[in-house]
Amino acid sequence: MTASSGELSSTIELTAVVTSVPASYTLYLTTPDGVLSTNAQAGKDNYFTLAVANSGTGNIDNVSLSTNKPRGWTVELTPTNISSITASNFQTVEMNIKPPTDAIAGDYELVVRAAGTQATDDVTIRVTVKSPAVWGWIGVGIIVLVIAGLAVIFIRFSRR
């Protein structure tokens, strides 16, 4: 760099050093609407959508998905492997949750884990299993039969 004014001039040599900021990797699992719970019918297919997101500044490579599910359950993930998720982007994953036909109505936990080369995350999803309404009607029918049977017994064996 040279600066001059009239007969005066001065020269100085400058060197620029460019340093790069290391990339950050932040992988997280969520849902498109942010709700981490769903309802399921025992013995039937129940579909649920997850989002695998990268909020970091570098790409996350070789992301594989796995589940930790209750015994007897079937959980299918599509896709199970993602080659790369670019920075500030996400990939949707479809889940098919199928509780066994003999599952007791109630709340269950299903853990989904995403593991990439640079980062990992897991999320717990609450699944509420509902029993079919037909079992409620069968229960009501059994109660009515028991009451009717007791009424017949009391009428038949009562004193006259």
Tokens linked to 158: 């009562």
Global pTM reads 0.70
- For the segment 37-87, what is each residue's pLDDT rounded down to a tens digit? 999 998 899 999 999 999 989 999 999 999 999 999 999 999 999 999 999
One-letter-per-residue 3-state SS of 44-112: CCEEEEEEEEECCCCCEEEEEEEEECCCCCEEEEECCEEEEECCCEEEEEEEEEECCCCCCCEEEEEEE
> Domain 27-131, CATH 2.60.40.10 — does that match?
yes
Query: Phi then psi for 151, rounded to 5 degrees?
Result: -65, -45
Query: Phi then psi for 152, rounded to 5 degrees?
Result: -65, -40
- Domain ranges across the chain: 27-131
